[in-house]
Amino acid sequence: MSSKDEKADASIITKAEVKTKEALTVLWSDIPKWLQDNHYIHSGYRPQSNSYRKSAMSLGYLHNETINIYSHLLGAITAAITAAWMYTTIRPRFHLADDKDVMVFSCFFLGAMACLGMSATYHTTSNHSEAVAKFGNRLDYIGIVFLIWGSFIPSIYYGFSAEPALVNLYWTMISTIGAGTLAVVMLPKFRSPEWRPFRAFMFVAMGLSAVVPVVHGLQKYGVQQMQQQIGLSWLVGQGVLYVSGAAIYAARVPERWQPGRYDIFGSSHQIFHVLVLLAAAVHLVGLLKAFDHEHRWRSGVLSAYGHARKLGESSFHA
């Protein structure tokens, strides 16, 4: 090959590299190894940006992270608006509603906003660089911890409202497991491959810890009472949605069946994001039903007490 041909080939390669860098989206084969995660997704990738501004600008065009970003970004905004609206309606809803009601609902909304907001941030900046992607991935996991913890707090409060000792016990349990899981996510020691099984174990333990108080409540109060106190069917529905989403994400379907077809719309990660939103909404409905039951019960007890007191006073005067 002549030097002229070599120069021509080099020029073609250089132009191709420049074109790849300038393109808004590229193919799987064009992205660095650290960005390659799901080989069933063939196109729609953003090139490595090395710029927060460039990564943020990707909010303005379509790529294979668009649905992942906007599903949780809009979800976080919706959670914030709903929280602000509910803050003005929780207290007036029942005259016995107090600061504890506001506190436990705040835990739920803060957990949801943290999870969805961190997820949207991660997916927006995931093409910045390998270091930023790894940090964003940790943020994503931290958000999951906050979502689980924030969902657990109000459910326990209403499920065992008549027994403060059990509420404190289960709050301590989930907070301890949550703190341990956060440590596993954040501390450098636990980021190495040999600690991967332990990291997975901590997340599974945190998720399954919700089963313990539910089983305890069923044994103690029965299905009908737990349906009212904790919104049991809604809690189960939430669990089904989370597990279904995780299973779809792990199996990488439907893109596994038709690689390249679901690059922009309909991939497993996107389905998982939507199911997380639905699960959070379902959980909120269950919490509101538990809240209503709790305060109707309190009002009924107070009313019965007042009625009995009046009868007693009437008998005394007679």
> Measured between alpha carbons, how far is 285 from 292 in angstroms, rounded to an integer?
11
Closest by alpha carbon to 209, among 198, 199, 219, 201? 201
10 Å Cβ neighbour count for 222? 10
Residues 258 and 266: beta-carbon distance below 8 Å: no
- Residue 267 phi/psi, 5-degree rounding, is -75, 165
Residues 182 and 146: beta-carbon distance below 8 Å: no
- Residue 94 phi/psi, 5-degree rounding, is -140, 140
- Residue 26 phi/psi, 5-degree rounding, is -135, 180
39 is in an annotated binding site: no
Residues 128 and 50: beta-carbon distance below 8 Å: yes
> Measured between alpha carbons, how far is 318 from 315 in angstroms, rounded to an integer?
5
> Measured between alpha carbons, how far is 175 from 206 in angstroms, rounded to an integer?
10
DSSP 209: T
273 is in an annotated binding site: yes
> Measured between alpha carbons, how far is 21 from 286 in angstroms, rounded to an integer?
48
Task: Mark the binding-site residues for Zn(2+), compressed into ranges.
Answer: 123, 269, 273
Task: Mark the binding-site residues, compressed into ranges.
Answer: 123, 269, 273
